[in-house]
Amino acid sequence: IIPSLISIILGILICRFSKQDDNTTHWQLTMQKGSLTVLFAWGYGFIAGAIPFMISGKLSFIQALFEAVSGWTTTGLSVMDVSVTPHIFLFHRSFMQFCGGLGFVMVMIMFVQGKQAMNLYNAEGHPDKLMPNLKKTVWSIFLMYVSLLFAGTIIYILLGMNPFDSIIHAMSALSTGGFSTKVDSIGAYHSLAIEAFTIILMLVGTTNFAVLLLLTKRKFKQAQRVSEIRFLTILLAIFVPILSLSLFYGIYLTAGESFRVSLFNVISALSTTGYSTTVYTNWPPFAIGILIILMLIGGGLGSTAGGIKLSRVYIILRTTFDNIRKRMSPEHCVEVPYYYKAQGKTPIDRNLASDITGFIASYLGIFAIGSLLLTVISNCSLTDAMFEFASSLGTVGLSIGLTGPTTGTATLIVEIFGMILGRLEIFIVLIGIYSGISMLKGYIQRKVK
């Protein structure tokens, strides 16, 4: 209740302040810059989301902030002992994941008109406008999301979950968040049917909203041509058997059990959901390495998933292959590379390839820095640090045991920065910070004059 009242009061004050002057003020002009507004909105969401945890007295400020950031960014790493946590707090953090999956700013767009709404939509990392009208696009995504939540909850109940667990897991699976009411996550149910349905929800959550819209319109042929969908299928076809063999020879006694564990956890890592059916402390390094790679790749662009994103990885691989082909073929024999989006065939030009290369280089650079920091701060092996920070930066939520109720403050802070950079995407954060600094400089200069 308290965060809600604070939010309402703050919203009223901002509205009144913005209407005090008919002319557009400098503050308004700056806040209309999408990236800065996105940072402001998410930053406020993090603080407001942390307040209930702090008021309860069960978590310190950093722990409460960590839990809120993990919720809003749909990561799913947790410092709470869910076995003794009241239901109201379990619902609160899962509801944050559900809203975070939609995109906190997308909810704002429902009530914003004009060019500002489009700037916000693009700034939050949504590349596709599914319909000519932006507000219709956002509402269609919202209604699709809520309908899937309702259906997911009902099916979980039919499969044997109690109603509370059902809505929590449906929210978390669709948002590719991973918060659970059980210490052992989905593995606590020991149910093949629940695991199979969770896989379906995770795949839905990691699929581009534009592709989901095609499926609802029964445009199946157009959907199956999308490069992201094909690339996802190829990755699953490669990594599930490889991981199954690794676990079969190292841990599990039957091929069936090895395949079941591998399929679920590969999809969980690649979709960046973070649900698990096992613990990873006894997994061989090769298997851990596979999960790290999958967490870095991530899910669909324009979905609830995190990571580098399937489209970016596909485009960079396609560009690399095209460059090799150019060196081996006469110039006139080489076609312009392309990829399929939900909207149709799209050429891969130099600017697009350059932007993606820069993003991936920045992403991997931050991953390397964060992993090295965790090795020093947490006094853990490099492999464990890479796993945990890949999970944070990719907003996945899988843990090898570094993150929990006893985790140190410094480790939590590093992971908080990783989750924020991963969810808001690196360039958006940097542009937002630059806009904020520019606004501050302009304000100081006017005061001096």
Answer left, alpha or beta for residue 338, where phi above 0 means left and psi between -120 and 50 means alpha: beta
More confident residue, 333 or 155: 155
Per-residue pLDDT, 28: 43
Confidence of residue 27 (pLDDT cuts 50, 70, 90): very low
* Domain annotation covers residue 3: no
Confidence of residue 130 (pLDDT cuts 50, 70, 90): low
Secondary structure (DSSP) of 296-333: HH-S-TTSS--SS-HHHHHHHHHHHHHHHHHHHS-GGG
- Judge whether residue 170 has pLDDT over 70: yes
* Domain annotation covers residue 356: yes
Question: What percent of the chain has pLDDT above 70?
Answer: 84
- The span from the CA of 410 to the CA of 377, in Å, is 7
Alpha-carbon distances, residue 447 vs 22, 97, 309, 444 (angstroms): 22, 41, 44, 5
* Domain annotation covers residue 346: no
Joined together, the tokens standing for residue 15 give 């509205």
Q: Which of 313, 295, 41 is nearest to 176 (CA)?
A: 295
- The residue type found at 386 is M
- The span from the CA of 148 to the CA of 363, in Å, is 31
Element holding 346 (H helix, E strand): strand 344-347
- Judge whether residue 47 has pLDDT over 80: yes
Helix/strand/coil percentages in the chain, nearest 5: 70, 0, 30
**Overall size of the chain counted in residues:** 449
Count the domains in the chain.
1
* Domain annotation covers residue 431: yes
Per-residue pLDDT tens digits for 50-65: 999 998 888 999 999 9
Q: Which whole number is the average pLDDT over 39-44?
A: 84
CB 202 within 8 A of CB 219: no
| Mean pLDDT of the chain, nearest integer | 85
Q: Which whole number is the average pLDDT over 90-107?
A: 83
Per-residue pLDDT, 296: 97
- The span from the CA of 361 to the CA of 381, in Å, is 24
Per-residue pLDDT tens digits for 315-333: 999 998 888 887 777 665 6
Per-residue pLDDT, 442: 77
* Domain annotation covers residue 16: no
- Any idea which residue has 């700037």 for tokens? 119
> 242: Cβ–Cβ under 8 A, 6 or more apart, which residues?
290
Residues forming beta bridges with residue 345, ordered by sequence position: 340
- Judge whether residue 155 has pLDDT over 90: yes
Q: Which of 317, 323, 305 is nearest to 394 (CA)?
A: 305
Confidence of residue 148 (pLDDT cuts 50, 70, 90): very high
Q: Which whole number is the average pLDDT over 247-254?
A: 85
Residues forming beta bridges with residue 339, ordered by sequence position: 346
SS3 sequence, 160-171? CCCHHHHHHHHH
- Judge whether residue 113 has pLDDT over 70: no
pTM over 0.85: yes
Q: Which whole number is the average pLDDT over 86-106?
A: 86
- Looking at 123-127, 209-213, 410-414, which range is the least confident one? 123-127
Confidence of residue 31 (pLDDT cuts 50, 70, 90): very low
- Looking at 1-5, 221-225, 238-242, which range is the least confident one? 1-5
* Domain annotation covers residue 336: no
Per-residue pLDDT, 104: 58
Confidence of residue 449 (pLDDT cuts 50, 70, 90): low
Identify the burial level of 338 via C-beta atoms within 10 angstroms of its C-beta, where 0-12 means exposed, 13-18 middle and 19 or more buried: middle
- Any idea which residue has 């920045």 for tokens? 362
Q: Which whole number is the average pLDDT over 236-248?
A: 95
* Domain annotation covers residue 395: yes
Identify the burial level of 242 via C-beta atoms within 10 angstroms of its C-beta, where 0-12 means exposed, 13-18 middle and 19 or more buried: middle
Q: Which whole number is the average pLDDT over 227-252?
A: 93
Per-residue pLDDT, 377: 95
- Judge whether residue 448 has pLDDT over 80: no
- Looking at 129-143, 214-228, 249-263, 367-381, which range is the least confident one? 129-143
Per-residue pLDDT, 362: 94
Per-residue pLDDT, 8: 65
Q: Which whole number is the average pLDDT over 14-30?
A: 48
Per-residue pLDDT tens digits for 268-291: 999 999 999 999 989 999 999 999
Element holding 121 (H helix, E strand): helix 114-123
* Domain annotation covers residue 330: no
Per-residue pLDDT, 328: 77
- Judge whether residue 24 has pLDDT over 60: no
Q: Which of 180, 189, 200 is nearest to 159 (CA)?
A: 189
What is the residue range of 216's domain? 32-310+351-448
- Angle, helices 134-158/87-102, rounded to nearest 10 degrees: 140
Per-residue pLDDT, 188: 95
Q: Which long-range contacts (CB under 8 A, 24 or more apart) does 233-242 make?
A: 235/270, 235/294, 235/297, 235/310, 236/266, 236/267, 236/270, 239/266, 239/270, 239/290, 239/293, 239/294, 240/266, 242/290
Question: What percent of the chain has pLDDT above 90?
Answer: 56
